A and B are shown apart, each in its own frame.
Chain A
């Protein structure tokens, strides 16, 4: 038991390291993905919230002031950068479409675990490298953030990453049935851009849609962690988010497993 856990850990640690090494081969790509894109998005969102405030005749919106929205915009873009999966989903889909998957299928390592470890490794690297920016900005501009809430937020984010990867695994498995699945990735990520709360805080959605949006597992991709850090919600919302992600993981895991088994059965060993 102990030996199998050690070997499981070493295997996954090696895959995570491989992901980091591969990404460092393309430093400019990494810089754009991890720093440039969230900086641009934050700038746009902060400008928008300033614009809304300067045009409107109000001092609070939905009970929160401009500082709260600026802090939300700042954190949400960086957190969502961590919780969004474009690159590894595309890589998984491409592996299936092109037959590169052969290299994993015939090795004693599951495709799901291989990419989960890479995804987690890369995202941890991105998180450590980029979250310093919103931390510094929040400190410098005195934006509302409760730093003591950060540890629980990180736990939720890591749990959510497993869910995100499972969704990506499900989407990529369409590669067994379709020639190109990139449009699915694009569509899914646009929907998540809204449903995660990256674009705006989900508590601005009118009822009853607000309750549904906040209860969905996707809200843990930005809204719940950021709203908790910036004081828009309390810890009970985080516990509900854990339950929601767990349920989402079960449902998505089942669906992904069905897609994968069906796909592998019809797979023709492309490229060989």
Chain B
């Protein structure tokens, strides 16, 4: 039996938008992220990102994007993050002094300058994630794919990363496509929501729009729910349908 991870869908994303991809486990959000970043080939269909077909992985395309996987270290485990950043500086053909300045600035904002010269394997999960974020932003990507960037982190680390990403977006205006199971990530960062269920996009619009549409379904007199509860309710409905 063939099971489609992602069914045919049409999607247009404008530059500078922050898209929050939400869905239950196995809904297809990470598959969409992997397709748009070029990590995997689709069985059929077409996509264009920054004028490139992502899965052709042309260097000119790869220099403009970044994929951050919350569950997978992408820096070098045995080395201090600063050494990995030096290698990334060469990979992305950045000017070494400017790159060094940038990773120090980013580390300052993420409050992790003191961990720059400690081997990655010796850092806590939160510190590692901060280093991963710096590594993914070093080359000023135009598009940032974030797959659960706050997964497994404590509340303080989650908040620091959210604040940092919010500031970064305001300053540099990259396009961000974000998946997360923490609805605070979505509600605080995303300006457009894509809800995915069973490989299909079932809602595409502003966060407020979604909240209003769900509120309209509630019986009069029922207590108002916040965003996280509404999403949870929606996901539970979806899980039951699956």
Contact = CB atoms under 8 A, between A and B. Distances in A.
Contact of A107 (B62, B71, B76, B78): B62
Given A25-B78, A268-B40, A269-B40, A100 B72 contact: yes
B87 interface: yes
A21 interface: yes
Contacts of B34: 269, 272
Contact of B72 (A21, A25, A99): A99
B72 A272 contact: yes
B41 interface: yes
Contact of A108 (B37, B40, B59): B59
A22 B78 contact: yes
Interface in B38-52: 38-41
A22 B67 contact: no
Contact of A18 (B37, B87, B147): B87
Contacts of A26: 78
Nearest to A114: B91
A182 interface: no
Contacts of B74: 102-103
B159 interface: no
Nearest to A98: B72
B44 to A, nearest CB: 13
Please classify how large the interface on chain B is, using the bins under 10, 10 to 19, 20 to 34, 35 or more: 35 or more
A109 B86 CA distance: 14
A269 B67 CA distance: 12
A108 B79 contact: no
Interface in A39-84: none
Contacts of A212: none
Contacts of B75: 103
Please classify how large the interface on chain A is, using the bins under 10, 10 to 19, 20 to 34, 35 or more: 20 to 34
B108 to A, nearest CB: 24
B79 A21 contact: yes
Nearest to A11: B90
B67 A102 contact: yes
Given A25-B79, A102-B67, A102-B69, A269 B39 contact: yes
Interface in A17-34: 18, 21-22, 25-26
B92 interface: yes
A18 B40 contact: no
A14 B90 contact: yes
Given A21-B79, A106-B57, A272 B71 contact: yes
Nearest to A109: B91
A61 to B, nearest CB: 46
Contacts of A204: none
B119 interface: yes
Given A107-B91, A272-B147, 12 more contacts: A14-B87, A18-B76, A18-B79, A21-B83, A25-B119, A99-B72, A102-B74, A106-B39, A107-B62, A108-B62, A266-B41, A269-B39
> Which 5 pairs of residues, A with B, have the shortest CB-CB distance?
A103-B74, A108-B59, A14-B90, A269-B34, A108-B62
